[in-house]
Amino acid sequence: MFAWPKRRKTERTRAPREPNRGKRFWITTLICAAIALAIFFWYTSARVLSEPVSLDVGPAAPEFAATLGPLVSAEFSGGNRIEPLLNGDEIFPAMLEAIRKAKRSVTLETYIWASGKISDEFIEAMSERARAGVPVLVLADGMGSLKFKREDRDRLRSAGVKFVIYGREHWWQIKPNINHRTHRKILVVDGLVGFTGGMCIADEWLGAGDRPDVWRETGVRVQGPAVAQMQSVFATNWLQTTGELMVGEAFFPPLGERGSSFAQCFKSGPGEDTERARIAYLLAIASARKSIKISHAYFVPDEMAMEMLVAARERGVDVEVVVPAKNDSRFGRAASRSRWGPLLAAGVKFYRFEPAMFHCKAMIVDDVFLTIGSVNFDNRSFAINDEMNICVIDPIAVREHVKVFERDRAQSTELTLEEFNARPFYVKAADWFCGLFRSQL
């Protein structure tokens, strides 16, 4: 029988693989990623204002208001009443009472809205007013409202509340810059009374700010001419999102004097009013002649802010900062600590608030000037997000906020320079690493 001869298997010759080829690939990839991140961080960092601010007058001088107003496109007006509201126990009842009494309009813009007990109360109050024929407009951030259930949104809409996501009225619309958010917290009722501060609609803000699982918060109720500025801030994002212009006395009624405070409300955001929050903060620091009291949940100053705070110490200004001993972000706390060394060395005093998570966002200068609202003392608020703050010049009204600051300081533990420098090596390393990402915080 004939048989085909067996074919010999020939070995394929392969080029010898370079042992370090894979390693070089990953190193190159990491370097490129790091460069891309560095470019992104630079691009999103506050950099329009690049020179330190100097001012020859204090915040009580007429020249200060005459300068700050035009610079942030929000003139100061007299006749305002500014009342502090502390924690959920005071903030939410005041807001809900105003909504339930609304006769002409309710406008609300918020960052976080999470389903739960306090959410149900807002839904019920707004739905009742909408069914009664009162226009109720709600603007929420897409990222901040991830925990706001669809059925709760449907409850609002079915009652006649117009609920939309900032920058994306319909689900099929795409918001190109997901890193840009509205961080504003604004409630205006009938165009007559406004509320702002750091509060969001979530159960973590309930209570008296005295437990580790809740937020210690300060908000303000505003009455008087400045309320029209608050409403205009909401109207700007409402127009950008829906294409609708809010007009008429339902939103902008005549406003008479309701108090004695000189006040303004400014908006800040990358697409409309670049770095106005940063300008307001730095100008106020430059005006300080006696004291600067800072209460901030996320205190991550950039180089210029640090330079100006050190300069304030050099001219004899007392600078005190209350920060969280605990909050919702260990990463953020570490990034914040990475900036404290030069400030402590210059004599800035730091106090870590102990009883609860600390979410306040306020700065007091010379016990006569106050700025409070949604703005954090960090790059995200100064350059990336949409923000709103109210500024007040009035020693009587500001005195109440000084008392709040002193109460928080009394419940805090002071951090000394020696204690700061004695941190373990691994803590210092972690702080340094987290500080590299400070432009995104």
Catalytic residues: 183, 185, 190, 359, 361, 366
CA dist., res. 194 & res. 115, Å (int): 23
CA dist., res. 358 & res. 86, Å (int): 12
- Count of Cβ atoms closer than 10 Å to residue 352 Cβ: 16
Q: Could you tell me which residues come within 8 angstroms of residue 302 by beta carbon, excluding any fewer than 6 positions away? A: 45, 46, 379, 382, 438
DSSP 51-86: S----SS-TTSHHHHHHHHHHTT---EEEEEEEEEE
Sign of CA dihedral 323, 314, 268, 188: positive
Three-state secondary structure call for residue 247: coil
Phi-psi category of 47—alpha, beta or left, where left has phi over 0 and alpha has psi -120 to 50? Answer: alpha
Strands (E), 212-281: 215-216, 218-223, 261-268
CA dist., res. 150 & res. 133, Å (int): 23
- DSSP annotation of 352: E
The candidate with the shortest Cα–Cα distance to 166, out of 190, 145, 186, is 145
